[in-house]
């Protein structure tokens, strides 16, 4: 099997997703290596390729076929254009007459530094792309790159931001303009995602 046309964010990569690379020992040594995956020129680490077989397919030309198998789960690092702006209310900067501001592109880094470097989120600009193209790069064979499109989940950050807000202010109550208590929701939730 080969890579499917589309992958899906936050879903385990299905078994059998593979990439086949060919190389001849007459031209160069059979050392085909997986370099890594990138999206919009930025490395992602949530999926990986592992070398699962190397077979001599043509003894005359010493052509070898190497198969790499994709594993993992496409994560939040696909959303390369996400931007979170947070502040540290314990660090007021007199010269700017404002709190220290920090900008994050990675959700995981935002979470890792919550309570350490920041304590309030003031803005979130989500990546507006409905899909991303992942480029897998290899050395020493043909082809040297292969691609796969991955659909981003529209609600990928909504429930996480809700959890962050709840952890910052555990007794928070959200009301509408009339003062009625409401439960924030996302009107375009895809089925099966919460």
Q: What is the pLDDT of residues 129-152, one digit of tens each?
A: 889 999 999 988 788 899 999 998
> What's the pLDDT at 169?
77
Residue 158 has pLDDT above 90, yes or no: no
The SS3 of residue 85 is: strand
Beta strands in 40-160 (DSSP E): 42-44, 47-58, 63-72, 83-93, 98-104, 120-125, 131-139, 145-151
> What's the pLDDT at 117?
94
Same domain, 116 and 139: no
Within a domain: residue 102?
A: yes
Work out the mean pLDDT of the chain and round it to a whole number. 85
Q: Give the closest residue to 192 by CA, choosing from 12, 11, 46.
A: 11
Same domain, 53 and 135: yes
Residue 27 has pLDDT above 80, yes or no: no
Domain limits at 41?
6-75+129-151
Is residue 22 packed enough to be buried (19+ CB in 10 Å), middle (13-18) or exposed (0-12)?
middle
Tell me the backbone φ, ψ of residue 122, rounded to 5 degrees. -110, -25
The model's confidence at residue 194, banded by pLDDT at 50, 70 and 90, is very low
């Amino acid at each position: 099997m080969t890579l499917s046309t589309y992958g899906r964010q936050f879903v385990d990569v299905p078994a059998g997703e593979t990439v086949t690379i060919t190389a001849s020992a007459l031209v160069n040594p059979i050392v085909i290596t997986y370099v890594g995956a990138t999206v919009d020129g930025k490395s992602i680490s949530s999926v990986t390729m592992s070398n699962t077989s190397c077979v001599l397919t043509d003894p005359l030309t010493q052509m070898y076929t190497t198969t790499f198998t994709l594993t993992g789960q496409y994560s939040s690092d696909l959303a390369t254009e996400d931007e979170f702006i947070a502040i540290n209310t314990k660090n007021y900067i007199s010269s700017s007459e404002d709190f220290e501001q920090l900008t994050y592109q990675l959700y995981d880094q935002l979470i890792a530094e919550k309570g350490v470097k920041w304590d309030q989120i003031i803005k979130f600009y989500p990546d507006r792309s409905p899909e991303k193209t992942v480029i897998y790069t290899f050395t020493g064979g043909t082809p040297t790159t292969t691609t796969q499109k991955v659909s981003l989940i529209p609600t990928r950050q909504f429930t996480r931001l809700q959890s962050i807000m709840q952890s910052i202010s555990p007794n928070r109550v959200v009301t509408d303009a009339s003062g009625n208590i409401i439960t924030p929701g996302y009107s375009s939730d895809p089925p099966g995602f919460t």
